[in-house]
């Protein structure tokens, strides 16, 4: 609409000027350098307009000629960048497919067409690393450290090479330098945190959790749990150095932050027990029993009890009341009742525990109960045989790799997983000898994990229950 209005106004102005000059022709005489020109005013105006148009065309032509080298250069540069980007793309594709030779060929094309050598060095380093030439890859990554824009990526590459060669000292140095360049990079934070744990630099790891929180690497619950584990690790070092007061202070701080850390509770209760502060040891056990009962805590609690067996049972009942439905509560009460010759209490709690998961310790306690209550040596012997084939007892074990340790530690000694040591049963597959198979059939196989047994059925549809008897009501289970 605006363009149409502008065209109409311009046309009207031109018609007006033409009509005006036609009605007022006039004459003009110009004498210059001995020459004389006579003409109308309209012809003079038309001549001036034509001269202006010629001058504009000449100026535009001169400008194009003067700027032609830069324009041609930009055109050629655009073509070079396009070829370089195409070579880079093909190089990455060849690298992903595992063809190192073709990837290096495209790398040379990238170097020829693109002025920045950062991409060339990165592609060359990755190709060399894939080809197994770690020294060549290291040289390329080190060359990337010379430029601020590529220094972080060079450090990341060197960090990965150091981890691959298990040089954790160098890896820690590279990770610290990379973290200083980009303090909120999630991958660097996680790697640096693991390296700090391996080096047992607990204070530095605690400080790193502040950056992890800012970068939202871990959730709030995970941050609290990791912080409590690190404080517990510091307490463990304090115990080793003989600073029991500092250890108690740190362990209480850890349990107040996260009450479900069994390792901290065991350390604190055991420390109080060794210091002959039995009341505080029992208080520490009761504080953690609500969230994370374990046989280790139950053993420490019973060791600190005094008085006759009946008084000890009442004290254990007080502990069990904080978490009555947990299997460890049933076991610790059964043990105390067995020592006090309370056969009914012991048997009922053992049956409750075995209904959840039958373990070797349950059968051993039942055997002791049969021997002491009924003097039935034959039945006790059968129960001990079942114990040898039942789910193994829980102990300190890594949840990541399954390695067993003699005590709680913050990182697994085998796989270095952080906070993975728990009081748990191992995972294993065993041949169940408690139930005698038929002559023409294989013995049932049981898969155990965390004390839970999944067993295959006999051909008659009966499955073996935790006590070794056949349960017809459960139906058949698929063989494993």
Q: Residues 53, 83: one domain?
A: no
**Please, which contacts does 143-146 make with residues 24 or more away whose CB atoms are closer than 8 Å?**
144/118
For residue 330, being part of any structural domain is answered with: no
The pLDDT score that the predictor gives to residue 245 is 92
pLDDT of residue 476: 34
Query: Based on the domain organization, do 233 and 246 belong to the same domain?
Result: yes
- 90 occurs within a structural domain: yes
Residues 263 and 202 in one domain: no
- Give me the domain span that covers residue 55: 7-60
What's the whole-number mean pLDDT along residues 64-87?
Answer: 59
Per-residue confidence (pLDDT) for residue 189, from 0 to 100: 93
309-325 core/surface letters (b: 16 or more CB in 10 A; e: else): eeebbebbbebbebbee
Same domain, yes or no: 211 and 227: no
Q: Assess whether 211 and 224 both reside in one domain.
A: no
Give whichever of 64-68, 286-290, 329-333, 468-472 has the largest mean pLDDT.
329-333
Higher-pLDDT residue of 443, 80:
80
Residues 159-213: tens digit of each pLDDT: 989 998 889 899 999 999 999 999 989 999 999 998 998 888 999 999 999 999 9
pLDDT class for 335, splitting at 50, 70, 90? very high
Nearest to 423 by CA among 409, 438, 435: 409
Looking at residue 425, its pLDDT comes to 76
Task: Using pLDDT thresholds of 50, 70 and 90, give the confidence band for residue 63.
Answer: confident
Q: d(Cα 200, Cα 454) in Å, to the nearest integer? A: 40
Q: How confident is the model at residue 273 (pLDDT cuts 50, 70, 90)?
A: very high
Task: Band the pLDDT of 268: cuts 50, 70, 90.
Answer: very high
Q: Is this prediction's pTM over 0.95? A: no
Q: Please identify, among 252, 280, 304, the residue that sits at the C-terminal boundary of a domain.
A: 304
Domain count, the chain: 5
The pLDDT of residue 81 is: 62
The stretch 54-69 carries a mean pLDDT of: 74
Whether 277 and 203 map to the same domain: the answer is no
**Mean pLDDT, the chain, as a whole number?**
78
The per-residue pLDDT for 464 is 41
Percent of the chain with pLDDT over 70: 75
Residue 172 lies in a domain: yes
Mark whether 87 and 55 lie in a shared domain.
no
Q: Is 84 buried (19+), middle (13-18) or exposed (0-12) by CB count in 10 A?
A: buried
Identify the pLDDT of residue 116: 56
Shared domain check, 45 and 91: no
Residue 280 belongs to some domain of the structure:
yes
Q: Do the domain assignments include residue 436?
A: yes
Residue 227 pLDDT greater than 60, yes or no: yes
Give the CATH number of the domain where residue 279 resides: 1.25.40.10
Model confidence at 101, in pLDDT bands (50, 70, 90)?
Answer: low
pLDDT digits (tens, 9 = 90+) for 301-319: 999 998 899 999 999 999 9
Task: Please state the rounded mean pLDDT for residues 94-102.
Answer: 59
The more confidently predicted of residues 19 and 321 is 321
Last residue within a domain, chosen from 215, 235, 257: 215
Is the CB of residue 349 less than 8 Å from the CB of residue 333? yes
Residue range 213-233: average pLDDT? 90
Least confident among 73-77, 97-101, 343-347: 73-77
More confident residue, 380 or 417: 380
pLDDT of 460 strictly over 50: no
- 339 pLDDT above the threshold of 50: yes
Residue 271's pLDDT band, with cuts at 50, 70 and 90, is very high
Instruction: Summarize pLDDT for 10-30 with one digit per residue, the tens.
Output: 888 877 777 776 677 677 777
Residue 186: φ, ψ to 5°: -60, -45
- Contact at 8 Å (CB) between 301 and 285? yes
pLDDT at residue number 453:
41
For the ranges 122-126, 377-381, 403-407, the lowest mean pLDDT is seen at 122-126
Closest-CA residue to 309 (of 333, 278, 274)? 333
Q: Is residue 253 part of a domain?
A: yes
What value does the mean pLDDT take over residues 400-417? 81
In this structure, is residue 229 part of a structural domain?
Answer: yes
Q: How far is CA 27 from CA 19, 48, 183, 319, in A?
A: 16, 15, 84, 124
Are 165 and 231 in a shared domain?
A: no
Residues facing 464 on adjacent strands: 470
Q: Is residue 470's pLDDT more than 90?
A: no
Residues 223 and 254: beta-carbon distance below 8 Å: no
Task: Determine, yes or no, domain membership for 320.
Answer: no
Q: Is the pLDDT of residue 401 over 50?
A: yes
User: Could you say which of 180, 215, 250 is where a domain stops?
Assistant: 215
- pLDDT of 9 reads 86
Does residue 262 or residue 341 have the better pLDDT?
341
When comparing pLDDT for 98 and 207, which is higher? 207
Highest mean pLDDT pick, 50-54, 258-262, 439-443: 50-54
103-146: pLDDT as tens digits: 656 555 655 655 556 666 777 777 777 777 788 888 888 888 88
Instruction: Count CB-CB contacts under 10 A for residue 455.
Output: 20
Residues 211, 230 within the same domain: no
Biggest CA pair distance of the chain: 151
Q: Mean of the pLDDT values across residues 237-249?
A: 91
């Amino acid at each position: 609409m605006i363009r149409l209005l502008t065209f109409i106004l311009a046309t009207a102005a031109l018609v007006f000027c033409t009509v005006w000059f036609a009605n007022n022709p006039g004459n003009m005489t110009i004498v210059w350098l001995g020459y004389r020109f006579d003409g109308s005013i309209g012809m003079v105006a038309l001549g001036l307009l034509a001269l202006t148009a010629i001058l504009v065309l000449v100026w535009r032509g001169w400008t194009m000629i003067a700027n032609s080298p830069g324009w041609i250069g930009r055109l050629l540069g655009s073509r070079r960048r396009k070829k370089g980007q195409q070579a880079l793309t093909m190089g990455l594709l060849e690298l992903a497919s595992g063809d190192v030779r073709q990837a290096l060929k495209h790398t040379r094309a990238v170097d020829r067409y693109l002025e920045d050598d950062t991409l060339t060095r990165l592609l060359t380093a990755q190709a060399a690393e894939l080809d197994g030439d770690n020294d060549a890859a290291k040289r390329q990554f080190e060359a990337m450290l010379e430029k601020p824009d590529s220094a972080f990526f060079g450090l990341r590459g060197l960090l990965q090479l150091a981890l691959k060669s298990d040089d954790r000292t160098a890896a820690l140095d590279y990770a610290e330098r990379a973290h200083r360049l980009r303090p909120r990079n999630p991958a660097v934070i996680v790697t640096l945190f693991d390296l700090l744990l391996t080096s047992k630099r607990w204070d530095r790891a605690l400080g790193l959790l502040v950056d992890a929180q800012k970068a939202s690497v871990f959730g709030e619950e995970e941050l609290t749990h990791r912080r409590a584990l690190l404080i517990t690790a510091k307490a463990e070092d304090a115990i080793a150095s003989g600073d029991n007061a500092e250890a108690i202070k740190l362990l209480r701080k850890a349990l107040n932050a996260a009450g479900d850390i069994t390792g901290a509770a065991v350390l604190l209760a055991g420390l109080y027990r060794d210091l002959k502060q039995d009341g505080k040891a029992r208080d520490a056990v009761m504080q953690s029993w609500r969230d994370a009962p374990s046989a280790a805590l139950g053993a420490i609690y019973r060791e600190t009890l005094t008085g006759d067996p009946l008084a000890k049972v009442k004290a254990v009942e007080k502990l069990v009341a904080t978490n009555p439905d947990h299997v460890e509560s049933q076991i610790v009460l059964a043990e105390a009742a067995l020592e006090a010759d309370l056969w009914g209490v012991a048997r009922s709690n053992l049956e409750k525990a075995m209904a959840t998961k039958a373990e070797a310790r349950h059968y051993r306690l039942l055997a002791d109960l049969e021997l002491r209550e009924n003097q039935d040596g034959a039945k006790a012997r059968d129960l001990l045989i079942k114990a040898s084939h039942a789910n193994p007892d829980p102990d300190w074990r890594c949840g990541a790799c399954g390695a067993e340790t003699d005590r709680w530690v913050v990182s697994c000694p085998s796989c270095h997983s952080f906070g993975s040591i728990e009081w748990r049963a191992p995972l294993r597959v065993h041949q169940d000898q408690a139930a005698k198979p038929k002559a023409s059939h294989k013995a049932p196989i049981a898969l155990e994990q965390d004390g839970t047994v999944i067993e295959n059925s006999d051909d008659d549809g009966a499955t073996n229950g935790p006590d070794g008897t056949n349960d017809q009501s459960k139906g058949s289970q698929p063989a494993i």
